[in-house]
Amino acid sequence: MVAEKYDPYDFANRRHIGPSAKEIADMLAVLGVSDLHALIDATVPASIRQTERIDFGKSLSERRALDKMRETANKNRVLTSLIGQGYHGTTMPPAIQRNIFENPAWYTAYSPYQPEISQGRLEALLNFQTMVADLTGLEIANASLLDEATAAAEAMAVAHRVATSKQSTFFVDQNCLPQSIAVLRTRAEPLGWQIKVGDPFTDLVPAEVFGAIFQYPGVCGACHDFTPLIDALHKAGAIAAVAADPLALTLLKPPGEMGADIAIGSMQRYGVPMGYGGPHAGYIATRDAFKRNLPGRLVGVSVDARGNRAYRLALQTREQHIRRERATSNICTSQVLLAVIASMYAVFHGPTGLKAIAHRVHRDACRLADGLASLGFKIAPDAFFDTITVDVGPYQGLILKNAVDNGVNLRKVGKDRIGITVDERTRPDTLEGVWRAFGGFDLRYDESYPSSRLPQPLLRTSDFLTHPVFHMNRAESEMTRYMRRLADRDLALDRSMIPLGSCTMKLNATAEMLPISWPEFGELHPFVPADQAQGYKELIDDLSRKLCVITGYDAISMQPNSGAQGEYAGLLAIRAYHKSRGDDQRHVCLIPSSAHGTNPASAQMCGMTVVVVGTDKSGNIDVEDFRKKAEEHSDALAACMITYPSTHGVFEETVREICDITHAHGGQVYMDGANLNALVGLAKPGEIGSDVSHINLHKTFCIPHGGGGPGMGPIGVKAHLIPFLPGHPHTDGREHTVSAAPYGSASILPISWSYILMMGGRGLTQATRIAILNANYIVKRLEHAYPILYRGKNGFVAHECIIDTRPLMDKAGVSVEDIAKRLIDSGFHAPTMSWPVAGTLMIEPTESETKAELDRFCDAMLSIREEARAIEEGRMDKTNNPLKNAPHTVEDLIGDWNRPYTREVACFPPGAFRVDKYWAPVNRVDNTYGDRNLVCSCPPMDTYMKAAE
Ligand SMILES: Cc1ncc(COP(=O)(O)O)c(C=O)c1O
């Protein structure tokens, strides 16, 4: 027998493309289509097809790709960075690195919208919220924001909404991080707010502002008590926010005790590598009174159907879900994985350990300052935590260079000062290297305790992290088991497909993930000199070039660190473009009613007026309505936002026409790139008529969802928009900064780059075809049981489909939620529920899933349909049935069984594995109870005891 030839593209088959050649043939036969090309021809309109193939040369094998990543990583030079400015060296405990950061059970999970299968990460996030609330001395914290700078902007937006002051100016402490000031300026301008930057003790006039933000400690190290300023702001009806360093807060009085209304910051130094800028978890905390105005996701405590404690996302009916174009925040993907890591770092060290780390950091800062003072340098400030600046007169350049020669990066401050920030990783030889850079060749690190330079009146007296979870026995055995227990409660991609429409939960291949653990990618400060980040430059440049080829755009900005952030950056570019042409009056944004909630929210944040366009009964944009509204607002038309293929899962034939109408009226086209997985290799947004798109690298390009973040949402633009792409104070000093770091969450870019390198143009295109095949196969298997809401003109769907479950409600009282929960019994995560159409499920299988897995899912869905039929026909009780009681837990099994169906039916419906059965840890979670009794920090211990009784 001749051995089968090993095809180099087999990589794609074995890794990213789930179905084998035989399965592909079988599925095509079920569809009644001769081959894959015929399916694509019948599905993707000829009018939008790209004519040239993507050619990236030869694709790389897994080993070659890893070699390439290693070569690239080696071009980054890892020095010790004492630059500070919001980024610090830190150590991720190895147990956390292996069991969370590198564990697919954590990093491949989706956002915890289905609480019953998310109890593990919800608990970890609740720990995060408790930690943030405790550290800041405020009552309620959310489950993370994108970074510190955007958190500052969110704080400003909350302040504007809740302040009684009617002023339009926001005061910004000049000691805030430069990148935060830049992002605040970007956010304020389109909304008509003014930013006043100054010394809060001399320049702040409370009656003239709706709020203010102070940095604590300031970027140059000073620690001030802002209590009197906060009192004065409150008297004027204004809101006070404090950007605070969470490590300093273990020793210093928290913002809440100064009377602050909001605290924000970054939890990066709690064990998360600097990663050349990200990803890290930003945080925001506030008073109880403002809890309904908190942006982002908030984990709360509720009960399940048995009354047992259960976690779930609270107050979900805010912002984009309900407020849409009136929303003041567009945050969707946040930084769950990084928040989980930071919370575990706190669990790992506990309050005593955190304080010990903070004291050690402070002592090293004191030793550093004493050594420099002994060399005759003037140090400021007198009291500090970890940051000092040194007056170096004309020697700034020389000393900075000496420091680099000694392996250390310091910060240039003005023309004659140098800033130094000490961190957890600082060692005796680090300080000795710094002293040498300043000429102190004979200074030696001294173990004796220097006298503290912490500001004595500001010492923290209150306890924090008092909850038992932060006091567990921290033997690594216990820690490992805790992380394992939480992971086991959740359902992630490492157990089953997650067929979430619009979310593209595809494989995150191991080879793509390995490099992000390497220090050459992880340990770079985002503001290191360019020559130390040559590897990153090569990666970012090549990835950008390839994304341009894939999308048909002329340039890419890597700054936006989520899809929604990309929308915001893209619309800002459109706005600036109009302004540059004197078209200041263009403020209308046409958005179809089916758009994702972040679209109108982003438009609102850019000061645009949203005009909603209808869709027709086939799910397409109603072209006549679109034309009418474009004409009506012709002079004011700034943009339209469309998603392609549509959020209804079809390739609209009219997309070019929509783009033409928009351009004819002087508007620009923003194409939401969430569905790019259906286009790669087949059609390019930039060639269809779009001017700008975001590209969710955490969907189409394999960055895992991390349980709700990180993500990356770079934008591609046509040439005329290039001048308006986001700038950054560190790189080019241009405006429109949208993220804290110049390249957003740079350290996860190796994932997307290696995916593209290993797939090559052919592999990427094949992936798109298979994604479409898989979706259509599901349609074929389910269409007799569930109406398929929308299809293209030849009866095929794009890479996802919407099935209508409303008939089950009408006939059997079975809701879409009942179906979602029953799928858990079969071991599945539900598809996207009730979006973009209420009472439906949107299924996106992606190319990664094998036919066997698709069949397992379809079997589960068909069995649910039969259960509903049994109710409909009176063979099953209307309320006491497996659908209404789902998900079933071990608790259900061990009690008396008095249900009108068997335990077997309850727990082992089609799809469920016998031995490897996934058991939901809780029964159905009561959302209303949770919102009525809002608890968003770890519940007191006695409730745990009651639960155990
Ligand atoms: C169509 C669409 N647009 C925008 C977004 C927002 O992307 P992100 O969550 O990365 O901010 C999503 C996210 O699911 C989406 O599905």
Give the position, in ligand 1's atom list, of the atom nearest the Cα of 698: 10
Is 263 part of any domain? Answer: yes
Q: How far is the CA of 567 from the centre of ligand 1 (A)?
A: 9
Q: Where in the sequence is the domain holding 289, given as residue range(s)?
A: 86-500+923-949
* Interval between CA 596 and ligand 1 midpoint (Å): 7
Note whether residue 438 is domain-resident: yes
Residue 646 beta carbon below 6 angstroms from any ligand 1 atom = no
CA angle 583, 585, 588 (to 5 degrees): 110
In short, whether 503's Cβ falls inside 6 Å of ligand 1 is yes
Q: Which whole number is the average pLDDT over 343-350? A: 97
- 69 falls within a domain: no
Full DSSP string of 593-615: TTS-THHHHHHHHTTPEEEEE-B
pLDDT at 12 exceeding the cut of 80: no
**In angstroms, what is the span from residue 332 Cα to ligand 1's centroid?**
7
Examine the pLDDT at 501 and tell me if it is beyond 70. Answer: yes
Which domain CATH number covers 285? 3.40.640.10
- Give me the residue label for tokens 């995560």: 829
Closest approach atom of ligand 1 to CA 565: 11
Spatial contact of 44 and 796, defined as CB atoms under 8 Å apart:
no
**If you measure from the C-alpha of residue 873 to the centroid of ligand 1, how many angstroms do you get, rounded to a whole number?**
40
Q: What kind and span of H or E run contains 663? A: helix 655-664
Evaluate whether residue 835 is within a structural domain. Answer: no
Q: What average pLDDT score do residues 211-219 get? A: 98
What are the tokens at 865?
């349909």
Ligand 1 in reach of 118 Cβ (< 6 A): no
169 forms beta bridges with: 194
pLDDT value of position 4: 46
User: CB atoms < 10 A from the CB of 10, how many?
Assistant: 15
Structure tokens at 87: 């980024």
Per-residue pLDDT tens over the stretch 867-904: 999 999 999 999 999 999 999 999 999 989 999 999 99
Residue with tokens 């350990």: 353
What ligand 1 atom has the least distance to the C-alpha of 333? Answer: 9
pLDDT at 1 over 60: no
CB 500 within 8 A of CB 743: no
Check pLDDT > 60 for residue 8. Answer: no
588, 569 Cβ separation under 8 angstroms:
no
Q: What is the pLDDT of residue 319?
A: 46
Give domain status of residue 153, yes or no: yes
Q: Is 671 in the pocket of ligand 1 (CB under 6 A)?
A: no
Tell me the pLDDT tens digit for each residue of 98-153. 999 999 999 999 999 999 999 999 999 999 999 999 999 999 999 999 999 999 99
HSE-CB for 756 with a 13 A CA cutoff: 26
Angstrom CA distances, 325 to 378, 590, 595, stand at: 53, 11, 11
Q: CA 540, CA 72: separation in Å to the nearest integer?
A: 11
Residue 294 forms part of a structural domain: yes
Distance from Cα 131 to the centre of ligand 1, integer Å: 28
Q: What is the pLDDT of residues 792-813, one digit of tens each?
A: 999 999 999 999 999 999 999 9
Tokens at residue 118, please?
């998310």
Please report, for the chain, how many H helices and E strands are present, in that order.
32, 25
Mutate to test the pocket of ligand 1, among 113, 331, 696 (most ligand atoms within 8 A of CB): 696
- Count the domains in the chain: 1
Mutate to test the pocket of ligand 1, among 111, 331, 332, 802 (most ligand atoms within 8 A of CB): 332
**Which residue has a Cα nearest atom 15 of ligand 1?**
674
Query: Ligand 1 centroid to 564 CA: how many Å?
Result: 6
Instruction: Judge whether 185 lies within some domain.
Output: yes
Terminal Cα distance for the chain, rounded: 65
CA of 401 to the centre of ligand 1 (A): 44
Q: Is the CB of 332 under 6 A from ligand 1?
A: yes
Residue 733 lies in a domain: no
